[in-house]
Structure 1
């Protein structure tokens, strides 16, 4: 219980610090935009590249782990996509961001340190695989759907080029794919270059969370209350429940791997969803509010889950 509090409270406090800076007008709008650009083009790509490059070699129940996590993840993604369009009468692009929010956990900033603290080295491989899968597959899927929605009216060839180009230009997706390629080929990275990447990676979490809080400062917290409740419920309750059914009863993963999968699914919405929304200037206010609320509520729900899984 103390472990999750020790990790989640600093995370939430950093968002609040950005919120306070925005409310007191210490940060101008242009400054926040510049910080977002730094996060999207430099810090987050460095974080994913380094983590995927340094991930341990895949072995064991990898296929079962990915099936237990991503089969319910895909089902929830497309259900949320269709339901979001109908309930809130929004575009496919905005509904894609909702679907990503329902399935994309904060596996990097909270998930990795939390699972390693609770389960040690045995949790490293499944945790990193989920980080890699979320970044390459889920983020890539949402990016493709947003690009497709923005390219309506084009012929199929032009639309395909637009989608592929949008995914290929996403520095977060490219960095994770590059890190995976370096990992699989065992290409050595020079220490100075790795040190440079680590410096940028260390800035990703604080800068992304601070920018999120600063953006929240300019938006009323009651904006989209129904949507915030909807996304928080999907992320903190429905997502982990579906993964738990697959991991524990359908595929019967080893205890540690099952616990890691369920815990990762139960985490609050990732800040990367906000970064993507900000990048496309699409639904960013409501997504940022949902991240803020899911993080606050998640302190309690994750504590309860850990007491069940770890106790």
Structure 2
């Protein structure tokens, strides 16, 4: 499938999810079922399928992990500095968090799988696991400390530990490390289920998108977009190109870092004293903009 067609396909799925919610076809309950299927079934299947069948030496490297961490934490630091001008703590905390907190799972990994192949998908699965372990605790700490909100970091970390995607990643890496074969029947089932990761995730994300610019500082939204979907992938591209000569690693890492702000940041903001309206707007705008950036990146890196 041509790259432009793939991007249009992704935009169409987002649009279908958005339209289905507004028409009442994809109700909140049905959207929750779809999200649960993507999170507990399709994405873990994709993660395990990609990592278990690929030699560990082909997908895991210190340079890839180091580059990824430098960019993720670096953009968080830049966001902290840039957004100090935002007047209220509720808005400022959301702007900082949404400048780095990336949708690696519901968009990043499925898009890499659709566009870059199995080895890149295995690399992206590892980056997804690392990203979850770093950005979720960081987001909780920032939102709670800046908004004087109550939240148990221990509970959140336990939630990360119970994440089915991370469990699937560890299991897949174990199979790869010990060269354990995946039974043919299981492999067939995993292949069949993982195909639904992208459509299920995109429909779910589309159903969660809302845009309301009333009482939202457009300049703050613009700065979040610049940091999240422009600066982050550019820094990732530079860091990965310098630290590793592997083209697939550069492609997978840059595309993952070009993903939009995660939908979960809206939930965190809503629960931990952040500005929910700003959070919702940022998720919407970065999601739309990121697909254009991904299209350019994939054309440049092809």
Matched length? 290
CA separation of 1:266/1:141 partners in 2, compared to 1, >3 Å: closer, same or farther? closer
Correspondence for 1:245: 238
Q: Does 1:186 align with 2:179?
A: yes
Output the aligned Cα RMSD.
Answer: 3.8
Output the CA distance in 2 between the equivalents of 1:93 and 1:247: 29
From 250, 256, 267, the equivalent of 2:258 is: 267
Structure 2: gaps of 5 or more residues = 146-150
Deviation, structure 1 residue 31: 1.9
Deviation by residue 1:173-217 (Cα, 9 ceiling, x = unmatched): 22222222222122333233333333332222211211221222x
Query: Residues 162-311 of structure 1 correspond to what in structure 2 (within 5 A)?
Result: 162-216=155-209, 219-222=210-213, 224=216, 225-248=218-241, 250-251=242-243, 253-254=244-245, 256-257=247-248, 259-260=250-251, 263-265=254-256, 267-269=258-260, 273-274=262-263, 282=271, 289-310=281-302
| Matches of 1:179 and 1:93, distance apart in 2 | 36
- Give, in whole Å, the separation in 2 of the partners of 1:268 and 1:183: 27
Residue correspondence of structure 1 range 127-138 to structure 2 within 5 A: 128-133=122-127, 135-138=128-131
Residue matched to 2:25: 26
Q: Distance in 1 between matches of 2:21 and 2:138?
A: 32
The aligned residue for residue 119 of structure 1 is none
Name the structure 2 match of 1:142. 135
Structure-2 change in CA distance of 1:5 and 1:169 (3 Å): same
Alignment TM-score, normalising by the size of structure 1: 0.74
Pairwise CA distance, 1:56? 3.4
Deviation larger for 159-168 or 88-97:
88-97
Alignment deviations for residues 120-168 of structure 1 (CA, whole Å, 9 cap, x no partner): xxxx5455323312x211112233345667998xxxxx96743542221
Q: CA deviation at 1:92?
A: 10
State which drifts further: 289-298 or 238-247.
289-298
Structure 1 position 82, deviation (Å): 6.8
TM-score (ref. length: structure 2) = 0.76
Q: Secondary structure at the match of 2:199?
A: helix
Residue 107 of structure 1 corresponds to: 108
1:232-284 per-residue CA deviation (whole Å, 9 max, x = no partner) reads 21222101221233234x43x326247515642563327xx325755996577
Q: Distance in 2 between matches of 1:74 and 1:140?
A: 12
Secondary structure class of the residue paired with 1:136: helix
Structure 1 match to 2:66: 67
1:297 positional shift? 2.7
Q: Which runs of 5+ in 1 are unaligned?
A: 117-123, 153-157
CA distance in 2: counterparts of 1:296 and 1:146, whole angstroms: 22
- 1:80–1:102 Cα contact (<8 Å) kept: no
